[in-house]
Structure formats: structure tokens, C-alpha cells
Amino acid sequence: MPLPTLTDLLKAGVHFGHRTSRWHPAMRQYIFGVRNGVHVIDIEQTRAQLEKAMAEIEEIVAKGGKIMLIGTKPQVQDMVEKYATECGMPYVCGRWLGGTFTNFEEIHKLVKQYLDLIDKRKKGELKKYTKLEQLQFDRKIDELDEKIGGLTTLTRLPEAVFVFDMRYDKTAVTEASKTGLKVFGLCDTNVSPALADVVIPGNDDAMSSLTLMGKLVMEAVKVGVARSKQTKAAAKTPAKTK
């Protein structure tokens, strides 16, 4: 899949880090320099890391794996939901539910309960209850939708996560690391990249930068899904006999 050029990254503001007073020394190797008291990220490294990350995401999906998109800070929530939904991957864009990875069996029970209630409501099976009980069911569905609505495609732990802010979603990152999931992390100059398996140095505040990352993940997933379908189709096609 085509990667953004250095010019594309510049236009998206991917190179803007934080003020030099708010930096993390572990990000030193990804910093190009300083401009007006602000660290400038080395976008040549950003592009190289994006190439690595997108190739790995594509490969994971091509083999039938799942990539969870995680972005819970307010400005990124709608974007994460949009791109994850478009490519059919699980996501978390609301409050992180503790134990999502480390206690996945319980989370999966909630997902099944949520899907069951949705199915019963669609079929009209909840109409046999009183209006008060139906209202309580509706509230329960809304509550579960907020908590685990983005996890309905998960029947097992995903193979990897893409995190749009390693610092803001540090609890999710810690759980992913504990359970052995691969972490693709967008890392600004003020965060520790220690728990990211693939570090993508870049601005994690500007919507232009975040949106660019979201689109790239979506496109990589779509390519992986297409490859997976081709592989399955080829396996079903009988070999030609001479």
C-alpha cells in the first residue's frame, strides 16, 4: 500500500513534538532538532517506522488476526470508531474497561449478553415485558454499548493493538503488554516508548496527524483482508489436471 511522503507528513503536522520542557529522554533518538522551543520529530524515521508497522499489520490481518484500535481521548474517539468500523476491526474509544485483556473471559460474557439483548430487541422478544422493564433493557443495552460496543467482533484476544496516545491510554498499553499482544504505538516526544513493540514517532495531539494514522491503519487492514480472501479462495479452487 502507498505510504505518505515526507511532504504529506509535514502537511499533517506529524513532525511537531512538545515543548523541550515536556520531553521524555527515551524519545531522544527520534528527535531531529528544536524550533522555537519545540522538539521537531525526525519524520524520515516516522516514515520508516510506518512502513514497518503497516506491513506487519497487513500480514497479521492476512493470516486471520485482529488489530484493535485504541483511542479514548475526546478528540480522537469519533475518528477511531469510524475507521475501525470501516475496516471491521475491534476498537475502544470510550473509557477503558479494566480487565479487557487481562480478564477477557468476563468481557466476552458481557459482549455475548449485549449481542443477545440487541438480537431480542430486534426480534421484538422484549415487548412481552412491561414498559418499565423494556426501559430497563434499553438502558442496559445503552450501558453495554458504551462499555463494549466496539468489541463485538472479538471472540478471542486480538493479535495486536494500535494505540493513538501511549500516555493517555497507558492502562490499555500495560494490559496489552502483560498479555503478550503486539503494540503499535504513536509516540510523541513526551511519552516513553518502552512498551511499544513498534514505535511510530509522531504528533499525537493534532487531528490531522491522528487522522492520517487512522487512515493508514484502515488501509493496511483492508489490504490484509483482501489477501486473506484471496488465499481462502485459492485454497478452495481445485487444481487443474493435465
Indicate the domain borders of the chain.
6-97+157-233, 102-155
Indicate whether 242 pLDDT > 70.
no
With cell 431480542, the residue in question is: 120
Indicate whether 224 pLDDT > 70.
yes
Mean pLDDT of 8-30: 96
| 142-184 per-position pLDDT tens digit | 999 988 999 998 999 999 999 999 999 999 999 999 999 999 9
Listed in sequence order, the residues at least 6 apart from 89 whose beta carbon sits closer than 8 Å to its beta carbon are 66, 67, 68, 69, 153, 221
6-97+157-233 against 102-155: fold identical: no
Alpha-carbon distance of 149 to 90, in angstroms, equals: 9
pLDDT at position 14? 98
To the question of domain 102-155 being in CATH 1.10.287, the answer is yes
6-97+157-233 CATH: 3.40.50.10490
Range with lowest mean pLDDT among 36-45, 71-80, 206-215, 229-238: 229-238
Indicate whether 241 pLDDT > 60.
no
pTM recorded for the entire structure: 0.92
Indicate whether 203 pLDDT > 80.
yes
pLDDT at position 1? 67
pLDDT at position 174? 97
